Structure 1
Amino acid sequence: MLFNNYSKTFILGALITTLVACSDTAEQAKAPVQKPLTPIDVAQVVYKPVQTWFTYTTRLEAPQQVALKPRVSGVVDTIEFVEGQKVKQGDLLFSLDPRPFVAEVERLQAQVMSAYAEHKQAQSEAARAVRLRKRDAISSEEAESRATTVKKSKAQIEGLKAQLVVAQLNLEFSKITAPIDGVISRAEITKGNTVNANQSTLTTIVSDQKMYAYFDIDERTWNRHFEQVQVSNNLPVVMQLVGADKYAHQGRVDFIDNQINTSTGTLRVRATFDDIENKLRSGAFARIRIASQEAKQQVLIPERAIGTDLKNSFVLVVDEQNTLQYRLITLGDRYGEFRAITSGLQASDTIAVNGPARVGPGMPIAPRNTQLNIDTVALTLGAQVDQPLLTAKQ
């Protein structure tokens, strides 16, 4: 009897334990399973000084360029320069056969001497006529005729002297010198060939101490960004040559045209670049960049972090609870893979770096902090001299 009571008690306890265990299992089955948070790359926005700049294409021009032509006709006797080298103003470049010019000078010198002799004789005759006229030995008409002869001989001397000057100039012009400092091209006409005055091109010379770059700014851009600019401001520009990866040449605006071109709606502007090392070539294709304003602080974020919603642009900002929040933004200029933000973000904001591709507003995340590297991006016009080309798109 005691055994039976004990058995009943054991069975009852086991049953109660089983019921409690089943109840706990049921409660656990009813409780929701918490999913792990999605790890997302986040970073604090960059806040740096940037500039808006504009890019134009151009071809370089030398301030001075001469197509060298002879002032007199003749036969090329010697060539006195090395092709492609620098020359100084006054350097002898070509010489023509001087003998015809020397002969002309000597002929006119002889005529001048003869004219002086005739003039002296005419003066003597005129003086004698004055004495004879006092004694009524000759008529007044004869005396006046001799005085007129003196004047004619004097005029003849002056005319011959002028011809002699021209002949001496022609002799001087048979030595063709450099009219400017610069770099000389090859000889287009070689020794022994006949050249015609003011027609035959002997060679060309371009100045090499500075270069001009003309470019056209559309009227809207000028009025919006450059209206207050004057030549006296020496507005800086930078230039990139074809094949170069940097805007390695610095210059300044030194000419602004006085009217808008009505055919194109553009204003012609010129930048000047010093070329002391002779690295620039006239006719070279180049890109010019000009900034409209001083650098100012702006928020910068990666282009991939930006989402679009109809006509709006937005980013996902991480709040204090590590939840993503929708934030409307206004886009500025692009700098490489980064975009300036003119409104909507603060310098202290943290954003989802890879944008809304995998996540959305209101979503809690497991943030993975990263850092935005913008050191290799040119944010200001001056920085492009030392950094490779990273285009800023308007």
Structure 2
Amino acid sequence: MKSPTKSMIVLLLASLLLAACSSEPAEPQASAAPLQPIDVAHVVRADIIDWSQFTTRLQAPQTVEVRPRVSGVIESIEFVEGAEVKQGDLLVKLDPRPYAAEVDRLTAQRDAALAALKQAQLEERRSTRLRASNAMAAEQADARVFQAQQRQAELAAMEAALQAAQLNLEFTDIRSPLNGRVSNAFIQPGNTVNANASVLTQLVSTEQVHAYFDIDERSWNAQFSDVTAATQLAVYLQLTGENDYQHMGMLDFIDNRVNFNTGTLRVRATFDVADNKLRPGAFARVRIAPQQKISSVLVPETAIGTDLKNRFVLAVNAENTLEYRQVTLGPRIGTLRVIETGLNGDDRIAVNGPARVGPGMPIEPRDVTIDTSALAQVLPETRISSELEQSVAQAR
């Protein structure tokens, strides 16, 4: 007979063996996927100027084609080509001898007319005495009076002709009509030139330049309708090859009507010339703004994505999840872009845009600072003032 204790031990071992065979190994717990690290920054909030930009060609306020006022042969060129000249400087000299001879001839005729007048006046006085004593007929006395008057008129005509001849002699010295810069000599010495026809050279004034440009009437009515020439609206100019708008001028002319063919209004800005940097004919960009400053939201250009016809920015919410924000773009300032609608001043955004991420994706934010150095280049004023002129002069 078996012992009860041994029977219990056998049953226990059998139960343990059965449990070990029937149990399956436990699966390891799945680990969570790591979050994508993304550069995140708060949008930039700044006061900026809403500039309107236009293109233009610079013009000299005065441009003169130098032409001779008398015909003749060029004797000499008296100016240095491309040099600055003053009003009254001698530019070209024509052969004066034919005109000098004409002056001499008319001078002699004037002297003869003067002698004839004196003789006629003497006879007139004599006739007056003889007529008083009834020694001369009235008809003969009157004839001597009329003869004296005729000699007086002949002398006046001869003096006028002499004055015209002296002017022609003076015009053989062709002088600069203004202060400015002269071009090259178009006709060389020895050539015959015709009065008021032959162009000897060209002069442009250099103290100031004008920039004419056209503003469409929609923009003018929306932004500049209260502007007049007396407003002293500041205009900033950039030449080709320059990096910024370093030349400051003033809007001083607004046309009296809108061009019905183009729907634009022509305006003009005047700039003082410094260091001969502004030259007539140069291509330039100008910008103006109607208001002083506008509080705006700005983001880097890299943060802006394109979705078919829309522009958008990925904003980061409180749960560090990306959100799609459709935005309206404003002007560009360096590497930054003004956002007119779609973002608030306290929003956080993905700085590098939708390059590796998309809306609804949780991220690991990596805080960075947006470069705002471009904002330092924005000029703070849109109206001419003594303080503005001084600051721009120091910047130059």
Cα 1:265–1:146 change in 2 (3 A) is: same
Residue equivalent to 1:169: 167
- Aligned equivalent of 1:99: 97
Aligned-residue offset at 1:2:
9.8
- For 1:347, the aligned partner's letter is G
2:364 to 363, 366, 378: 366
**Equivalent residues of 1:215, 1:270 under 8 A apart:** yes
- What is residue 66 of structure 1 aligned with on the other side? 64
Are the equivalent residues in 2 in contact too, given 1:304–1:353 (CA < 8 A)?
A: yes
Partner amino acid, structure 1, of 2:256: N
Q: How far is 1:201 from its partner?
A: 0.9
| SS of match in other structure, 2:174 | strand
Q: Deviations over 1:205-228 (max 9, x none)?
A: 111111111111111111111111
**Please, which of 282, 286, 294 is the counterpart of residue 284 of structure 1?**
282
Match of 2:226 in 1: 228
Q: What are the equivalent positions in structure 2 for 1:365-384 lying under 5 Å apart?
A: 365-376=363-374, 380=378
Task: Please state how far the C-alpha of 1:382 moved relative to its aligned partner.
Answer: 6.3
Does the 8 A contact of 1:238 with 1:381 survive in 2? no
> 1:28-107, aligned counterparts within 5 Å?
33-107=31-105
2: distance between equivalents of 1:197 and 1:308?
Answer: 67
| Residues 90 and 177 in structure 1, CA contact (< 8 A), matched pair in contact too | yes
Distance in 1 separating the partners of 2:307 and 2:183: 61
- Cα distance in 1 for partners of 2:95, 2:314 equals 84
Matched, 1:193 2:191: yes
RMSD: 3.1
Give the residue type in structure 1 aligned to 2:284: A
Distance 2:284 2:172 in 1: 40
Matching residue of 2:120: 122
Alpha-carbon spacing, 1:310–1:95, altered in 2? closer, same or farther (3 Å): closer
1:77–1:312 CA distance, 2 compared to 1 (3 A): closer
Q: Report deviation, 1:150.
A: 0.9
Give the Å deviation of 1:65.
1.0
Alignment of 1:21-32 (within 5 A): 26=26
Deviating more after overlay: 71-80 vs 336-345? 336-345
1:144 to 142, 145, 167: 142
Match of 2:351 in 1: 353
Q: Which runs of 5+ in 1 are unaligned?
A: 387-394
Letter in 2 for 1:149: Q
The alpha-carbon distance between structure 1 residues 382 and 178, as it changes in their structure 2 partners (threshold 3 A), is farther
Identify the residue that residue 202 of structure 1 maps to in structure 2. Answer: 200
Question: What SS class does the counterpart of residue 373 from structure 2 fall into?
Answer: coil
Q: Distance in 2 between matches of 1:192 and 1:93?
A: 15
Are the aligned partners of 1:50 and 1:379 in contact in 2 as well (CA < 8 Å)? no
* CA deviation after TM superposition for structure 1 residue 169, in Å: 1.0
Alignment check: 8 A CA contact 1:306 1:313 kept: yes
Which AA in structure 1 matches 2:214?
Answer: D
Q: Could you tell me the TM-score, scaled by structure 2's length?
A: 0.86
- Give me the TM-score of the superposition, normalised by structure 1: 0.86
The equivalent of 1:305 in structure 2 is 303
- Give, in whole Å, the separation in 2 of the partners of 1:326 and 1:195: 76
Match of residue 213 from structure 2: 215
Change (3 A) 1:307 1:103: closer
Question: Which amino acid is the alignment partner of residue 286 of structure 1?
Answer: A
* Percentage identity across paired residues of the two chains: 51
Q: Give, in angstroms, the shift of residue 342 of structure 1.
A: 2.5
Q: Is the 8 A contact 1:289 1:381 kept in 2?
A: no
Per-residue deviation at 1:128? Answer: 1.4
Counterpart secondary structure, 1:247 = coil
Q: 1:370 to 1:113 in 2, by over 3 A?
A: same
TM-superposed CA distance for 1:268, in Å, is 0.8
Task: Please report how far the alpha carbon of residue 90 of structure 1 lies from its aligned counterpart in structure 2 after TM superposition.
Answer: 0.7
Structure 2: segments with no counterpart, 5+ residues: 382-390
- 1:108/1:164 contact within 8 Å kept: yes
Q: 1:295 aligns to what?
A: 293
8 A contact 1:332–1:342 mirrored in 2: yes
**Is the Cα–Cα contact under 8 Å of residues 51 and 379 in structure 1 kept in the other structure?**
no
* Paired residue type of 1:241: L
Name the count of aligned residue pairs. 381
**Higher deviation after alignment, 268-277 or 131-140:** 131-140
Distance change in 2, residues 1:77/1:360 (3 Å):
closer
| 2:86–2:178 CA contact under 8 A, matched in 1 | yes
* Cα distance, 1:247 vs structure 2: 2.9
Contact 2:293 2:380 in 1 (8 A): no
Q: How far is the alpha carbon of 1:49 from its aligned partner?
A: 2.0
In the TM superposition, what is the alpha-carbon distance from 1:152 to its structure 2 partner?
A: 0.7
